[in-house]
Amino acid sequence: MKKHHIRAILLLLLAVLVCSFSGLDFLNMHKEEALFPSSNLTAKKKLSDYFPGLKNSPGDSSVYIFEGQKRGGILLILGGTHPNEPAGFITAILLVENLAVKQGKVIIVPRANNSGFMHNDPQEGNPQRYSLDTPGGTRWFRYGSRLTNPIHQWPDPVLYVNPAGQKLSGTESRNLNRCYPGRKNGYLTEKIAYGIMRLIDDERIDLAIDLHEAAPEYPVINAIVFHENSAELAAIAQITLQMEGVDIRLEASPPNLRGLSHREWGDFAKTRAILLETANTSHGRLRGKPSASLIVEGRDKNYQKAAQLGRLFVHFDKNGIPLKQRVSRHLASLIALISGLYELHPELPIQLDNLPSPVEVLQVGIGPFLKPSK
């Protein structure tokens, strides 16, 4: 055997070694974080119970149902449509771990795009997870990608025509919030969207809320995006929030922007459709080094400078915009929307108990409201 042959064998062994380590690291992202539902949970289902086409697929996801003893309105809350927008996901987890429903029904899907949690965006340097301290120890949560994992949905078309007929760039075929109302036999992401539409139909949802975040330099921020069937509800919620000192703007869902939850849920499922946005520093293009602390603390010198130059759509100072503030904002908006729904439709009351108070979350953080890790 020649010298370069021996060297080739050693280098091939090195390649296998590197693949093993990096492969284990990547596969580690398929592991789901622990979630400890409140004792008041009525039922736990899967998205595949509403659309069997998702069964045993990475798009299947847990659906948590809390039902009160008295009948009332039915609310759907979606977290994790975009797994790189942690405030929506953590708000959904906070609700699942604390909620009790006295009247009406609340259905929560914390990982709307489950596949998106199983990878993160290449070349962004984002951490795979971040941690929150609870009184019983530290708990970690997955930081994923805006899009479905390409391992689960490939190849992307060059031009994507979504189920609502909008032409988009190919990668958007993996963006859950461009794939509504979904397709029964379409791409995995379209099947997830179809499953969520089935859930809305089967459960006769009265109000559906999609929790999101956006970059601080993006204009639709700290906002309630509403379908025209929910304009009055959104306006009432805005007044309530402004009176409580939560500055929030209203954005009407553009009728020509198709495939988004706040458009298609209203058009196709005829439910009241709302999307909530907060400002996520780790999501923005101006941010410095990505890290778990950037996700949780939301402090960044570049954004401070951008704010001083008047380039942002939100106030940003040295304290940043921490996760607890964004979750508190989502909670306050949810409460305002539920109370607004009752004001407009007294026949649809939803009475919640044990809901973490937005003010307390802002003061003491998220950790005290999460169950200790086991």
Bridge-based pairing of strands 129-134 and 159-161 is: unpaired
Query: What is the distance between the alpha carbons of residues 288 and 286, in angstroms, rounded to a whole number?
Result: 7
Least separation, in Å, of the C-beta of 153 and another protein? 11
- Smaller CB separation from another protein, 29 or 237: 29
Closest to another protein by CB, 122 vs 219, is 122
DSSP state, 184? T
Contact 184, 198 (CB under 8 A): no
Three-state DSSP state, 26 = helix
Sequence-separated (6 or more) residues with CB below 8 Å from residue 274: 207, 208, 209, 210, 224, 225, 226, 227, 230, 233, 234, 262, 337
Name the minimum Å distance from CB 164 to another protein: 25
Q: How far is the CB of 2 from another protein (least distance, A)?
A: 8
The DSSP string of 71-137 is EEEEEEEE--SSTT-HHHHHHHHHHHHH-EEEEEEEEEES-TTGGGGG---TTS---SEEEEEETTE
Q: Which is nearer to another protein, 53 or 358 (CB)?
A: 53
Q: How many CB atoms lie within 10 A of CB 161?
A: 12
- Report, in Å, the least distance between residue 4 CB and another protein: 5
Shorter beta-carbon distance to another protein: residue 18 or 359 = 18
- Smallest distance from another protein to CB 56, Å: 16
Rounded least distance, CB 290 to another protein, Å: 18
For another protein, the closer of residues 17 and 161 by Cβ is 17
Q: 11 or 239, CB closer to another protein?
A: 11
Give the shortest CB-66-to-another protein separation in angstroms.
Answer: 37
Q: Which residues are near another protein by CB under 8 A?
A: 4-5, 7-8, 11-12, 14-16, 18-19, 22-23, 26-27, 119, 151, 154-155
Other Cβ atoms less than 10 A from the Cβ of 288: the count is 12
d(CA 291, CA 217): 19
The DSSP string of 211-263 is EEEE-TTSSS-SEEEE-GGGHHHHHHHHHHHHHTT---EEEEPPTTS-S-HHH
Among residues 6 and 364, whose Cβ is nearest to another protein? 6
